[in-house]
Structure 1
Amino acid sequence: MGQIVLKSYKDSWHEQVVQLYLAVTAKYKHAIFWWPGPEENHDNVYCAFDGEILVGKGQVQVITIQSQDEAGEYEGTKDGTVESYHQIYMNIKLRPEVSNQEEVFQLLYGALYERALVLAQDLPKTHSVQLCVGNHQAEQENSALFEKCGFTPMYRQYEMEKELNRVQEAPDLQIPELQFIQTALESSDEEQRYLRTESTIWPEYPLGLHRLRQLKGRTDFTSFAALDPDNQLVASVMVCQENEKSGSIEEVFVVPAWRKKGIATHLIRYGLQYLQEKGYTAARLSVQTKNEKALELYQSLGFTISGEEHRYGKDLIKIDSLSHR
Structure 2
Amino acid sequence: MEKKYKIQILDAKKDSDLLFKIVEHENEVFGEATVGNWNIKPIAKYGKVFAAVTNDEKEELISVIEVLSSFDRELAYIYGVSTVPKFEKKGYATALLRYVIQYLKKLEIKKIELTVDTDNFTAQKIYKKLNFEIVEDLENEYGDNIKRYLMRYVGV
TM over 0.5, shorter chain: yes
Aligned residue among 28, 38, 44 for 1:210: 38
Instruction: Rate the CA distance shift 1:310–1:217 in 2: closer, same or farther, 3 A.
Output: farther
Partner of 1:168: none
Instruction: Rate the CA distance shift 1:251–1:186 in 2: closer, same or farther, 3 A.
Output: farther
Query: Given that residues 223 and 238 in structure 1 are in contact (C-alpha distance below 8 angstroms), is that contact kept between their aligned partners in structure 2?
Result: yes
C-alpha separation in 2, matches of 1:185 and 1:213: 5
Unaligned runs of 5+ in 1: 1-173, 314-325
Amino acid across the alignment from 1:279: E
- Residue 115 of structure 2 aligns to a residue whose secondary structure is strand
What is the correspondence of 1:95-114 to structure 2 with a 5 Å cutoff?
none
Aligned residue among 39, 51, 73 for 1:225: 51
Measure how far apart 1:243 and its partner are.
5.4
Query: Given that residues 18 and 61 in structure 2 are in contact (C-alpha distance below 8 angstroms), is that contact kept between their aligned partners in structure 1?
Result: no
Partner of 2:5: 178
C-alpha separation in 2, matches of 1:278 and 1:184: 18
Q: CA RMSD in A?
A: 2.3
Matched, 1:309 2:138: yes
Matched, 1:275 2:104: yes
C-alpha separation in 1, matches of 2:81 and 2:131: 16
Query: Given that residues 12 and 42 in structure 2 are in contact (C-alpha distance below 8 angstroms), is that contact kept between their aligned partners in structure 1?
Result: no
Q: Where do 4+ consecutive residues of structure 1 move more than 4 Å? A: none
Query: Given that residues 193 and 232 in structure 1 are in contact (C-alpha distance below 8 angstroms), is that contact kept between their aligned partners in structure 2?
Result: no
Tell me the alpha carbon deviations over residues 143-193 of structure 1, each in whole angstroms, 9 at most, x when there is no partner. Answer: xxxxxxxxxxxxxxxxxxxxxxxxxxxxxxx77433332223434323212
- Residue 33 of structure 2 aligns to a residue whose secondary structure is coil
C-alpha separation in 1, matches of 2:32 and 2:68: 24
Tell me the alpha carbon deviations over residues 70-95 of structure 1, each in whole angstroms, 9 at most, x when there is no partner. Answer: xxxxxxxxxxxxxxxxxxxxxxxxxx
Unaligned runs of 5+ in 2: 145-156
C-alpha separation in 2, matches of 1:253 and 1:300: 17
C-alpha separation in 2, matches of 1:179 and 1:294: 22
Partner of 2:129: 300
Partner of 1:259: 88
C-alpha separation in 2, matches of 1:200 and 1:248: 22
Tell me the alpha carbon deviations over residues 275-320 of structure 1, each in whole angstroms, 9 at most, x when there is no partner. Answer: 111121111111111111001110111111111222234xxxxxxx
Larger Rg: 1
Matched, 1:285 2:114: yes
Identity rate of aligned residues, in percent? Answer: 25
Tell me the alpha carbon deviations over residues 2-42 of structure 1, each in whole angstroms, 9 at most, x when there is no partner. Answer: xxxxxxxxxxxxxxxxxxxxxxxxxxxxxxxxxxxxxxxxx
Query: Given that residues 248 and 284 in structure 1 are in contact (C-alpha distance below 8 angstroms), is that contact kept between their aligned partners in structure 2?
Result: yes
C-alpha separation in 1, matches of 2:10 and 2:18: 9
Tell me the alpha carbon deviations over residues 90-115 of structure 1, each in whole angstroms, 9 at most, x when there is no partner. Answer: xxxxxxxxxxxxxxxxxxxxxxxxxx
Paired residues in the alignment total 139
C-alpha separation in 1, matches of 2:18 and 2:84: 17
Measure how far apart 1:217 and its partner are.
5.0
What is the correspondence of 1:1-325 to structure 2 with a 5 Å cutoff?
176-187=3-14, 188-218=16-46, 221-228=47-54, 229=56, 230-242=58-70, 244=72, 245-311=74-140, 312-313=143-144
Amino acid across the alignment from 1:234: I
C-alpha separation in 1, matches of 2:106 and 2:71: 15
Amino acid across the alignment from 1:300: K
Query: Given that residues 62 and 92 in structure 2 are in contact (C-alpha distance below 8 angstroms), is that contact kept between their aligned partners in structure 1?
Result: no
TM-score by length of 2: 0.76
Amino acid across the alignment from 2:120: N
